[in-house]
Amino acid sequence: MRIKKSESGSAASAALLALLQVTMVVVTVYIFAAKLYSPPAPITDIGRAVDEQYSLTLWVTAVVFVLSQLGIAYAVWRFRDHGQRAHFSRGNNTMEFIWTTATIILFLGLGILGRRAWAEVRFTPPAADAVQVEVTENQFVFNFRYPGPDGKFGRLDPKQISASTGNPLGIDSKDPAGKDDIVVPTLTVPVNRQVELHVTSQDVIHNIFVRELRLQQDAVPGLVVPIHFTAEKIGQYEIVCTQLCGLGHSRMHSYLNVVSDADYQAFLKSGGQ
Amino acid sequence: MSSHAHGAHAAHAMEAPTGFIRKYIFSVDHKVIGIQYFLLALTAVLVGIVLSVLMRLHLVWPNMHLPFVPGGLMTQEQYLSLVTMHGTIMVFFVLTTAPQGGFGNYFLPIQIGAPDMAFPRLNMLSFWVTFLAFIAILAAFVVPGGAPISGWTGYTPLSGLGEVTGPGEGWGQTMWIISISLFCLASLLGALNFIATLIDMRAPGMSLFRMPLTCWGWFVTAILGLLAFGVLLAGGILLLLDRSAGTSFFIPAGLVVNDQIQPHSGGSPLLWQHLFWFFGHPEVYIAILPGMGVASHVLSTFARKPVFGYRAMAMAMCAIGFLGFMVWGHHMFVSGMSPYSGFAFSVLTMSIGVPSAIKTFNWLGTLWGGKIQFTTPMLFAIGFVSLFVSGGLSGLFLAQPAVDNLLHATYYVVAHFHLVMGVAAIFGIFAATYFWFPKMFGRMMNEPLGKVHFWFTFVGAYCIFMPMHWVGIAGGIRRYADASAVQYLQPLQPVHQFMSIAAFVTATAQILFLINFFWSLKSGPKASKNPWNATTLEWITDSPPPHDNFGGHFPSVYRGPYDFSVPGVKEDFVPQNLPPQDVKREKE
Concatenating the DSSP letter of every residue in B409-454 gives TBHHHHHHHIIIIIIIIHHHHHHHHHHHHHHHHSBPPPHHHHHHHH
Within a 10 A sphere around the Cβ of A215, how many other Cβ atoms? 22
The answer to whether B305 touches A87, Cβ cutoff 8 Å, is: yes
B interface test, pick of A26, A165, A202, A216 with most B CB neighbours within 10 Å = A216
Residue A2 belongs to some domain of the structure: no
B545 touches chain A (CB under 8 A): no
A24 domain-assigned: yes
Which one-letter amino acid corresponds to residue A57?
Answer: T
**A-chain residues near B488 (CB < 8 A):** 40, 211, 238
* Residue A167 sits at the chain B interface (C-beta within 8 Å): no
Q: Chain A closest CA to B43's CA: distance in Å?
A: 28
Least confident range from A18-22, A123-127, B196-200, B489-493: namely: A123-127
Same domain, A243 and A151: yes
- Note whether A253 and A137 are same-domain residues: yes
Asked if B82 reaches chain A (Cβ–Cβ under 8 Å), the answer is: no
Does the pLDDT value for residue A8 go beyond 50? no
From CA A154, how far away is CA A147, in angstroms rounded?
7
pLDDT at B454: 98
| DSSP code of residue B104 | I
Instruction: Assess B344–A contact: CB distance below 8 Å, yes or no.
Output: no
Q: Side chain identity at B176, as an amino acid letter?
A: W
pLDDT-derived band at A261 (thresholds 50, 70, 90) equals very high
pLDDT above 60 for B158:
yes
- Tell me which residue in A17, A202, A249 faces B255 most closely, judged by beta carbons: A202
- The beta-carbon neighbor of A111 closest among B400, B484, B525 is B400
For residue B219, give every residue at least 6 positions away whose Cβ sits within 8 Å of its Cβ, in sequence order, or none: B194, B195, B198, B211
pLDDT at residue number B14: 59
Q: Are B329 and B277 in contact (CB under 8 A)?
A: yes
| Closest CA of chain A from B256, distance in Å | 5
Indicate the pLDDT class of residue A271, thresholds 50, 70 and 90.
confident
Chain A residues close to B336, C-beta within 8 Å: 217-218, 220, 223, 225
Closest to A252 in 3D by CA, of A138, A136, A163, A140: A140
Contact B155 A28 (CB under 8 A): no
Q: Do B253 and A37 count as a contact with CB atoms less than 8 A apart?
A: no
A246 and A134 together in one domain: yes
Contact residues on chain A for B470, CB-CB shorter than 8 A: 31-32, 36-37
For residue B4, the model assigns a pLDDT of: 46
Nearest-CB residue to B165 (from A20, A170, A246): A246
Interface test with B, best of A38, A105, A242 (most B CBs within 10 A): A242
Residue A214 falls in which region: left (phi positive, over 0), alpha (psi -120 to 50) or beta: left
Q: Could you tell me which residues come within 8 angstroms of residue B43 by beta carbon, excluding any fewer than 6 positions away?
A: B134
Distance CA B385, CA B288 (A): 12
C-alpha torsion A123→A125→A131→A136, nearest 10 = 50
CA distance B124 to chain A (A): 34
Min Cα separation A247/chain B (Å): 5
Query: In A, residues 103-162, which contact B (CB 8 Å cutoff)?
Result: 103-104, 107-108, 110-112, 114-119, 121-123, 138-139, 158-159, 161-162
| A174 in any annotated domain | yes
Residues A135 and A260 in one domain: yes
In-domain check, residue A215: yes
Distance CA B121, CA B116 (A): 11
Residue range B509-536: mean pLDDT, rounded: 98
If you count residue pairs, one on A and one on B, with CB atoms under 8 Å apart, how many are there? 352
What length is written for chain B? 588
In a domain, A214, yes or no: yes
pLDDT digits (tens, 9 = 90+) for A222-245: 999 999 999 999 999 999 999 999
Structural domain total, chain A: 2
Dihedrals φ, ψ of A228, to 5°?
-140, 155
Q: Which residues in B lie closer than 8 A to residue A211 (C-beta atoms)?
A: 406, 475, 488
- Percent of chain B clearing pLDDT 70 (strictly above): 97
Per residue in B249-308, pLDDT (tens digit) is 999 999 999 888 999 999 999 999 999 999 999 999 999 999 999 999 999 999 999 999
Q: Which residues does chain A have within 8 Å of residue B267's beta carbon, measured at their own beta carbons?
A: 222
Cβ of residue A77 closer than 8 Å to a chain B Cβ: no
Q: Do A111 and B477 touch (CB under 8 A)?
A: no
Contact B261 A16 (CB under 8 A): no
Tell me, yes or no, whether A67 and A179 share the same domain.
Answer: no
Residues of B in contact with A16 (CB under 8 A): 455
In this predicted structure, the answer to whether residue A121 has a pLDDT above a threshold of 80 is no
Co-location of A61 and A138 in the same domain: no
Which residue does chain B place closest to A156, by CA atoms? B254
Based on the fold, state whether residues A99 and A175 are members of the same structural domain: no
Q: By CA distance, what is A139's nearest residue in B?
A: B257
Distance between CA atoms of residues A198 and A210, nearest Å: 15
Phi, psi of A140 (to 5 degrees): -135, 55
Q: Are residues A12 and A101 part of one domain?
A: yes
Q: Is B62 on the interface with A (CB under 8 A)?
A: no
Residue A116 maps to a domain: yes
Strands of the sheet with A206-210, listed across from one edge: A187-190, A253-259, A235-240, A206-210, A215-219
The dihedral formed by the CA atoms of B566, B570, B574 and B575, expressed in degrees to the nearest 10? 170
pLDDT above 90 covers what percent of chain A? 85
Average pLDDT rounded to a whole number, residues B177-192: 98
Confidence of residue B587 (pLDDT cuts 50, 70, 90): low
Residue A176 forms beta bridges with which residues? none
Q: With cut-offs at 50, 70 and 90, classify the pLDDT of residue B67.
A: confident
**Residue A106 included in any domain:** yes
Domain range for residue A111? Answer: 7-81+93-121
Residue B473: its chain A contacts at CB < 8 A?
A: 37-39
- Pick B480's closest partner by Cβ from A17, A60, A250: A250
Among the partner residues B76, B402, B565, nearest to A118 by beta-carbon distance:
B402
Peptide bond into B157 cis (omega under 30): yes
Whether pLDDT at B588 is above 80: no
- Tell me, what CATH number does A133's domain have? 2.60.40.420
A236: three-class secondary structure by DSSP = strand
In a domain, A88, yes or no: no
Taking contacts as CB-CB distances below 8 angstroms, the residues of chain B near A111 are 346-347, 349-350, 399-400
Predicted local confidence at residue A119, as pLDDT: 79
Are A60 and A173 found together in one domain?
Answer: no
Question: In which band, very low, low, confident or very high, does the pLDDT at B8 lie, cut at 50, 70 and 90?
Answer: very low
Q: Please tell me the predicted confidence (pLDDT) of residue A7.
A: 46
Peptide bond into B544 cis (omega under 30): yes
Q: So what's the pLDDT on residue A38?
A: 93
Contact A213, B379 (CB under 8 A): no
The predicted model gives B376-401 an average pLDDT of 97
Going by pLDDT thresholds of 50, 70 and 90, the confidence category of residue A186 is very high
Looking at the complex, does the CB of residue B210 fall below 8 Å from at least one CB of chain A?
no
For helices A7-33 and B447-473, angle between their N-to-C axes, nearest 10 degrees: 10
| Angstrom distance (rounded) from CA B343 to CA B378 | 40
Sorted by sequence, the CB contacts under 8 Å of residue B395 that are 6+ apart come out as B349, B353, B416, B420
Domain match, A110 and A136 both:
no
Beta bridge partners of A216: A209
CA–CA min distance B488, chain A (Å): 8
pLDDT tens-digit profile of B300-343? 999 999 999 999 999 999 999 999 999 999 999 999 999 899 98
Whether residue B158 and residue A49 make contact (CB cut-off 8 A), yes or no, is no
Percent of chain B's residues with pLDDT above 90: 92
CA distance B212 to B576: 10
**Shared domain check, A222 and A158:** yes
Q: Is the dihedral of CA B501, B506, B509, B514 positive or negative?
A: negative
Contacts 24+ apart (CB under 8 A), B487-492: B487/A238, B488/A40, B488/A211, B488/A238, B492/A37
Closest CA to B178 of B218, B129, B220: B129
Eight-state DSSP code of residue A105: H
Task: Name which of A152-166, A188-202, B180-194, B511-525 the model is least confident about.
Answer: A152-166
B406 close contact with A: CB closer than 8 A: yes
DSSP B490: G
Q: Do A88 and B305 touch (CB under 8 A)?
A: yes
A170 and A71 within one domain:
no
Choose between A158 and B366: higher pLDDT.
Answer: B366
